[in-house]
């Protein structure tokens, strides 16, 4: 029995198969791009929802303040491996009113015999407080170059927004100092 395979049928099916196959490759490429797009997408999503623990910047003090409320702000510091620097806040703890700016200084010293670069990354705990934390001036995310033995005072000026949730009574700022070579990101 001869199979019924007249050329047009075979050709059409082969073309249809090839077309669908290439379409699927396109879909795959789309999802591959989606994977990379997730990097900025996550940033945007977290900014919109405030779920990322990212703080914000401010040019000047807010218009309102809540002088009836005290919030304790605690400061910690960590030096990451590979950076022989001394790094600590001048004050461990500060009591502030939401809406009123305060300043704190971090001391940093290069204990090695080479000029080195470091960069501080900041994070805030609890995460719910991060959105209400505004920095007027911060040394985080900028490159610090210290010569051997050099000491420096790094300034942080900040305020808590008055709409900080009521159940937040302590906010902890944590700075991690990383070694970097060359440019900041």
Partner 1 sequence: MSQAITHDEHDEHHPRGLTRWLFTTNHKEIGVLYMLFGLTMFMVGGLLAMLIRAELFEPGLQFLKPQIYNQLITLHGLVMVFAALMPVTTGLANYLIPMMIGAPDMALPRLNNWGFWLLPPAAVLLVLPFGLELLGIGNGPIDTGWTIYAPLSVQSGLGVDFAILAVLLLGASSLLSSINVIVTVLNMRAPGMTLMKMPIFVWSWLMTAFLLIAVFPVLVGGVGMLLGDRHFGTHFFNAAGGGDPVLWQHLFWFFGHPEVYILLLPTAGVMPHILATFARKPMYGYRGQVYSYWAIGVLSVIVWAHHMFTSGMPVGAQLYFMYSTMLISVPVAVLFFCWIATLWRGAMTFETPMLFALGYIVLFGIGGLTGLVLADAVADQQYHNSYFLVAHFHYALFGGPIMGVIAAAYFYLPKITGRMYSERLGRWHFWLTMIGFNITFMAQFFVGIAGMPRRIPDYALQFADLNMVSSLGAFVLGAAQLLFVYNVIMTWRGVGRKATGQVWDGARGLEFTLPSPPPLHSFTEQPVIR
Burial of 66 (0-12, 13-18, 19+ CB in 10 A): middle
Which residue from 29, 56, 67, 78 is in contact with partner 1, where contact means CB under 8 A? Answer: 29
* 34-42, 55-63, 142-150, 151-159 -> range binding partner 1 (CB under 8 A): 34-42
| Count of residues engaged in binding partner 1, rule: CB under 8 A | 35
- Rounded CA-CA distance 98/66 in Å is 5
77 scored as a contact of partner 1 (CB under 8 A): no
Produce one character per residue of 93-116: b if its CB has 16 or more CB atoms within 10 Å, e if not.
Answer: ebebbbbebbebebebebeeeeeb
The distance of closest approach from Cβ of residue 92 to partner 1 in the complex, given in angstroms and rounded to an integer, is 23
28 scored as a contact of partner 1 (CB under 8 A): yes
* 92-100, 107-115, 121-129, 152-160 -> range binding partner 1 (CB under 8 A): 121-129
The distance of closest approach from Cβ of residue 39 to partner 1 in the complex, given in angstroms and rounded to an integer, is 7
Looking at the Cβ atoms of 32 and 70, the one nearer to partner 1 is 32
Which residues have CB under 8 Å from 115's CB, separation 6+? Answer: 145, 146, 147, 148
Residue of 28, 11, 41, 177 lying closest to 109 (CA atoms): 177
* 21-29, 59-67, 96-104, 156-164 -> range binding partner 1 (CB under 8 A): 21-29
63 scored as a contact of partner 1 (CB under 8 A): no
* 26-34, 56-64, 67-75, 160-168 -> range binding partner 1 (CB under 8 A): 26-34
**Contact status, residue 103 vs residue 156, Cβ threshold 8 Å:** yes
Residues that bind partner 1 (CB under 8 A): 1, 3-4, 13, 16-17, 20-21, 24-25, 27-29, 31-36, 38-39, 42, 51, 53, 80, 119, 121, 127-128, 141, 176, 178-180, 185
């Amino acid at each position: 029995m001869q199979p019924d395979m007249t050329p047009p049928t075979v050709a059409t099916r082969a073309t249809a198969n090839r077309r669908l196959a290439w379409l699927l490759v396109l879909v795959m490429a789309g999802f591959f791009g989606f994977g990379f797009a997730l990097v900025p997408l996550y940033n945007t999503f977290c900014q919109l929802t405030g779920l990322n623990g990212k703080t914000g910047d401010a040019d000047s003090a807010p218009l309102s303040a809540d002088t009836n409320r005290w919030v304790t702000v605690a400061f910690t510091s960590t030096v990451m491996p590979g950076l022989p620097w001394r790094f600590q806040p001048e004050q461990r703890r500060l009591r502030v009113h939401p809406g009123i700016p305060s300043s704190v200084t971090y001391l940093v010293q290069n204990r090695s015999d080479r000029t080195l670069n470091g960069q501080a990354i900041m994070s805030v705990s609890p995460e719910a407080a991060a959105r209400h934390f505004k920095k007027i001036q911060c040394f985080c995310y900028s490159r610090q170059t210290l010569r051997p033995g050099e000491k420096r005072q790094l300034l942080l000026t900040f305020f808590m927004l008055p709409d900080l949730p009521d159940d937040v009574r302590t906010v902890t700022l944590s700075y991690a100092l990383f070694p970097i070579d060359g440019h900041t990101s």
